[in-house]
Structure formats: C-alpha cells, structure tokens
Amino acid sequence: MTHFLTDEQIMVAKMVRDFAKERVEPWIPRMEAGEFPRPLLKEMAELGLMGMTIPEKYGGSEMDFTSYILAIHELSKISPTLGVILSVHTSVGTNPILYFGTEEQKQYYVPKLASGEWLGAFALTEPGAGSDAGSLRTRAEKKDGAYILNGSKIFITNGGEADTYIVFATTNPKLGTKGISAFIVEKETPGFIIGKDEKKMGLHGSRTTEIILENVKISESQLLGKEGDGFKVAMANLDSGRIGISAQALGIAEGATDAAIEYAKQRVQFGKPISQQQGIGFKIADMSTRVEAAKLLVYRAAMLRSNNLPCGKEASMAKLYASETAMHVATEAIQVFGGYGYTEEYPVERYFRDAKITQIYEGTSEIQRIVISRQLLH
C-alpha cells in the first residue's frame, strides 16, 4: 500500500501508528473498563487529528481524505474504540456543517469541532427507524421563528460526550424522506436529555446513548441546509462516513492478523512453532489475503473521495467487505490462539467483540448490498 501513498500520507500514518502504540495502547484496560478516553482526544487534538480534512480557514489541518482514512486505520489497529470516536466526530459530526452549513454556521461551529475543543455526534437512528432511516418520527415544528423538536434517538455514538449533535427530524411527516430536515443542536439546550447508556458487547470506551428531545427550542439559524433536505444531508455524509467505518474494520482485521502471526511464531506444539503447521500457515495466508483485498477497496474509496469523485457505491463495497473481513479474521485469529484466544489475556477476543458492530452501524451489511445493487441495476 505504501507504494501508492505520498510522502506526506506515509508521515501521517507513521505519526498515528507511533501515537497509538505509545499513548493509546496503555489506555486499553481503562477503555475496556468503560472509561471514555477524554485525555487521549485532547492529545489527538494537539496532533491536529480532530479536524484533519477541515480547511485551515475553519481551524482544521487541511489534509486530504486519504490521510484521514490512514489515521482511522492506524488507530483502529490498536483501538477500534478511538477509531469510531474519530470517525463519527469528523465524517458525520463535523462534515455536515462544513458541506451544508451557512457561512455563519461554519464560522461558529467548525473551528470548535476541528480544534477538538468540542466533540461532534450524529443523531439519525430512532427506536423504530434503524435501517429504514427515512421512517423517523422525531418532529420539528416551526413556531415564531424557532423550531420545537420532540422525539427520541437511539444508539448515538459520542452521546453525552459530544457538544453538538446533527439531529434529523421531520417537519412534514406526509412528505416521507422529503419532509426530513437536519438541525445543529447543542448539548446544553433545555429539553435535550441524554438517556440511558447502552451496555455493549464491544467498543467499551466509546459511549453510546439514547437521546430524548422534549420541546427542544432552537433558533431557525440552527437549521442545517434547507427544510426538507435533511435526508440528503444524512445520506451524503454517510457515504464518506462509511469509508471511515471501513477503515476501522480494516484496522481490526489487520490488528487481529498481526496478533495471530506473532503468536503462531512463538507458540510451540508437537515440537515446533504452530506457524510451521500447515493448518495454521494456510489459515494465516487466507486471513492476510482478505486483509489486503479489503485494504484495496478501502483505499480506492478513500482516493475517489480525496479527488471529489462519486464514491457512494465504492464506499458501500469497502464497508461491506472490510466489516465482513474483520468478523471473519477476528474469528480465525481466536482459533489460532486456541484456548488462550478466548481469554482476556490476549487482544483477539476484544477484536472479535469490536468487529461485530462494523457489520451493523452506518448501515448494516444488508443495507450496503441495497446501495450497491441499486447503483448497479438502476
């Protein structure tokens, strides 16, 4: 892969790899115990990682999209938890404001998010509207130059930790997806209630909460894009968001494969390292081949996005293949470790738990297949 990267991209990847090894790895037990890694986010902000793709004029580091994907990939090899926090903050927490906001909104919100002073989140999913995001029921009613929001959101990554939320609500339920609008809602707004924390199988350091909106009054100036454009705002940002999650899945797959290779070389059974048993050697060959195939799809999508070329289908292909690979490879890595792989002593059981969600959030594998097949067959 390095053959196809610029010197700057290679430098970014190395910086993040070193940071992940030196600073993030020691934090894993704390994150596994459920602690949100606030101090690490501060360090990431100092390295310019919280606004990588944001133009300098809005306080970002103005790097290309591929560098940002390299950062998520490298972070996720060590900590998929930090990978998702960064991906959600950037792709769907900050970018919607950059791409759809007014100049005033961009100047007020984006520098705070790009500098890492504020954290971003995205509130689309509802208890009754997951894969069918267009069926959401949260209402936004316009009254005297303000919007009043009522409803509830679920599974919100960075919930309770984020300072701003891109909230999707319908201004006209009769219009279906065309009645949906996007709003920027600040955490401290009265009636904006952080509900229960989900107890999850994996990603223990990443907070996921319910959000309840009870007569949340926001000014008209917090409407993002035009009234009725909300579904497009969500979908367009999910295109690039899905490349971020594909990079997270790739990091998990590569991290699990590296751990299996290291273990296989030192674990001796039947008088020789298990790496020299063909059953294990072939398994590792297959794992590594799938990781490399996923890498090509992830970076192809990232490079298209870097060059502002259409990438919806390619993003879905990358997300589908990388997340299925993460789950498969993490399962195989546990098999290489045998009984030890099932214990918390080694990282592979954590990769396995973290891998599962990559097949679900930002569109399940089934939804990715819908997006891909619709583009191929329409």
**54, 119, 133, 301: which one contacts ligand CAA (CB under 6 A)?**
133
292 is catalytic: no
Which range of residues in 104-112, 126-134, 285-293, 327-335 is near ligand CAA by CB under 6 A?
A: 126-134
- C-beta of 84 vs 317, nearer to ligand CAA: 84
Tell me, residue by residue from 188 to 227, as one string, x for binding to ligand CAA by CB under 6 A and - for no binding.
----------------------------------------
Say if residue 178 is exposed, middle or buried (CB neighbours under 10 Å; 0-12, 13-18, 19+): middle
Torsion of CA 175, 176, 178, 180, to 10 degrees: 110
CA distances to 34, 148, 156, 266, 281 from 271, in Å: 41, 71, 50, 12, 16
Closest Cα to residue 326, out of 84, 159, 118, 129?
Answer: 84
Greatest pairwise CA separation for the chain in angstroms: 80
**126, 210, 354, 362: which one contacts ligand CAA (CB under 6 A)?**
362
Instruction: Establish if 177 lies at the interface with ligand CAA (CB under 6 A).
Output: yes
CB of 64 to ligand CAA, least distance (A): 21
In a 3-state reduction of DSSP, which class is residue 56? helix
Closest Cα to residue 215, out of 284, 312, 147?
Answer: 147
Q: Tokens for 283, please give them.
A: 């398994």
- C-beta of 332 vs 362, nearer to ligand CAA: 362
Which range of residues in 119-127, 197-205, 252-260, 323-331 is near ligand CAA by CB under 6 A?
A: 119-127
Which range of residues in 74-82, 217-225, 347-355, 362-370 is near ligand CAA by CB under 6 A?
A: 362-370
Which range of residues in 57-65, 220-228, 230-238, 317-325 is near ligand CAA by CB under 6 A?
A: 230-238
Tell me, residue by residue from 296 to 335, as one string, x for binding to ligand CAA by CB under 6 A and - for no binding.
----------------x-----------------------
**6, 102, 107, 131: which one contacts ligand CAA (CB under 6 A)?**
131
Instruction: Establish if 351 lies at the interface with ligand CAA (CB under 6 A).
Output: no
Measured from the Cβ of residue 115, the count of other Cβ atoms closer than 10 Å reads: 18
Q: Tokens for 301, please give them.
A: 């999508």
Are 270 and 264 in contact, with CB atoms under 8 Å apart? no
Q: How far apart are CA 252 and CA 327, in angstroms?
A: 9
Q: Which of 254, 324, 332, 362 is catalytic?
A: 362
What are the backbone angles phi and psi of residue 232, rounded to the nearest 5°? Answer: -65, -40
**88, 166, 322, 348: which one contacts ligand CAA (CB under 6 A)?**
88
**157, 171, 222, 359: which one contacts ligand CAA (CB under 6 A)?**
157
Q: How far apart are CA 256 and CA 239, in angstroms?
A: 26
Instruction: Establish if 236 lies at the interface with ligand CAA (CB under 6 A).
Output: yes
Q: How far apart are CA 28 and CA 30, in angstroms?
A: 5
Q: How far apart are CA 36 and CA 161, in angstroms?
A: 8
- C-beta of 71 vs 280, nearer to ligand CAA: 71
Give the distance, in angstroms, between the CA of residue 80 and the centroid of all CA atoms in the same chain: 9
Alpha carbons within 13 angstroms on the beta-carbon side of residue 257 total 24
Q: Which sequence positions are flagged as catalytic?
A: 362
Q: Where along the sequence are the contacts to ligand CAA (CB under 6 A)?
A: 84, 88, 122, 124-125, 131-134, 157, 177, 231-232, 235-236, 238-239, 312, 361-363, 367, 370-371
